[in-house]
Amino acid sequence: MPADDAHLGESWALSPDSRRPLPELIEQKLREQIIGGALKAGDRLPTEPELARMLDVARSSLRTALQRLQLQGIVEVRRGLGWYVRRTDLAAIEEHLEGRLAAKRFSATDLLEVRISLETTATALAAVRAGDGELDELAKLNRRYQRAPVDDQQEVIESDEEFHLALIRASHNELLEEMYQALVPGLQDCKRHAHPSREVHNRSANEHEQVIWFLRRRDEAGAKTAMTTHLLGLYNDIVTDDAEPKATLTTYVGDHDEPRWPRSRGTT
């Protein structure tokens, strides 16, 4: 007997945002009710026909929404009995997001490792080959990045990307640039899932500046190391956030031979 109606209110009107699929709106509405505390773990939801009436949608659309929530572990169904709230914590939602990331074939770890490989190489090459004009351009792009407001995610990501792309281009290796380009969409995904604080943003800008400093001095090893440090910082942030406890990061201090790239190659 759904006496639930009493404390839930009679109708949960949906906002008529018709640009998104209806089940998604229903899902969001139900999630709000659950997370907001109107429904607690273990509670039974009203029956499907009842809920459909309250939300003013067809039972089939409601079921689609319920099944989505079920796949996220928020509700569960017992046939012949009804739908029950399983967990109300936010962890369930984060797990869902991780699932979407895991659906891609390779992990963020893989992606960032390849990125580090290509970009540190590009930095070393740029130290040898970049023209002075290109270095000025890099400095200008980093100023733009520096000025970007932390809460304007779009601008932060875009200005950062332009800096790194310009650096890649300064390596004067077209193939390397092509391969890096292939990674760009994935990298954007990664960055969108990161949450840049004021502090992290400033640190990044400073590290960019250091890289440029070494490049101006044509210090190949210094520039490469500075870039490696910078990228490993981000790598560490993202990878450890990502509920992948396999990876722990340390820094090696070595005195091994570090080979060096050839000088001179059309610095324009």
Task: List residues near DNA by CB under 7 A.
Answer: 1-2, 18, 21-23, 45, 47-49, 57-61, 63-64, 77-83
114 binds a second copy (CB under 8 A): yes
Minimum gap (Å) between residue 137 Cβ and a second copy: 21
Minimum gap (Å) between residue 59 Cβ and DNA: 5
Pair of tokens at residue 155: 């601008």
Cβ-in-10-Å burial (0-12, 13-18, 19+) of 122 comes to buried
Minimum gap (Å) between residue 85 Cβ and DNA: 12
Scanning 10-18, 87-95, 141-149, 156-164 for contacts with a second copy by CB under 8 A, the matching segment is: 87-95
Q: Which of residues 63-82 bind a second copy (CB under 8 A)?
A: 63-64, 67-68, 71-74
Q: Can you tell me the distance from the alpha carbon of 100 to that of 107, in angstroms, rounded to the nearest whole number?
A: 11
125 binds a second copy (CB under 8 A): yes
268 binds a second copy (CB under 8 A): no
3-state secondary structure (DSSP) of residue 86:
coil
CA 78 vs CA 45, 53, 83, 152, 242: distances in Å: 11, 21, 6, 45, 33
Residue whose CB is less far from DNA, 23 or 196 = 23
Q: Can you tell me the distance from the alpha carbon of 117 to that of 123, in angstroms, rounded to the nearest whole number?
A: 10
Q: Which of residues 183-242 bind a second copy (CB under 8 A)?
A: 183, 185-186, 189, 220-222, 225, 228-229, 232, 239
247 φ, ψ to 5°? -100, 120
Residue whose CB is less far from a second copy, 7 or 256 = 256
Pair of tokens at residue 130: 């970049």
Q: Work out whether the CA dihedral 138, 259, 264, 222 comes out positive or negative.
A: positive
